[in-house]
Amino acid sequence: MKIDPSLKQVTLPTPVESRPPQQQVDTRTASEQTEVTLSSRATDLKQLEAQLAAIPVVDRARVDSIKEAISSGQYAINTGNIAENLIDSVKEMLHVAK
């Protein structure tokens, strides 16, 4: 199988735990005054955005429980299911690349 060099590499977002805080810079001078009025929908969206930002990207409790199950030998791996999903993802990638 030949790897197509023209395909773009996908970059995953950084987890919430390691994301640097976003800083807002106020570039207005003392003589400038700006008044902005947001609709109720914009206010609702801003609240939802804040709630989504608070949700961790990785469920640490789930990761820790899986690590524990693997180390104790209780984690069962379904190789057939993994193979099927790999084949499906390759088919999807080939379909998208066309």
What's this model's pTM, rounded to 2 decimal places? 0.34
Instruction: Yes or no: say if 46 and 52 are a contact pair by the CB < 8 Å rule.
Output: no
Range of lowest pLDDT (30-34, 82-86, 88-92):
30-34
For 29-43, the pLDDT digits (tens) are 666 778 888 889 999
Domain range summary for the chain, segments of one domain joined by +: 42-98
What's the whole-number mean pLDDT along residues 76-90? 94
Q: H or E stretch including 66?
A: helix 60-72
For 52-75, the pLDDT digits (tens) are 988 888 889 999 999 999 999 999
- Residue 33 CA to its chain's centroid (Å): 37
Between CA 4 and CA 83 the distance in angstroms is 22
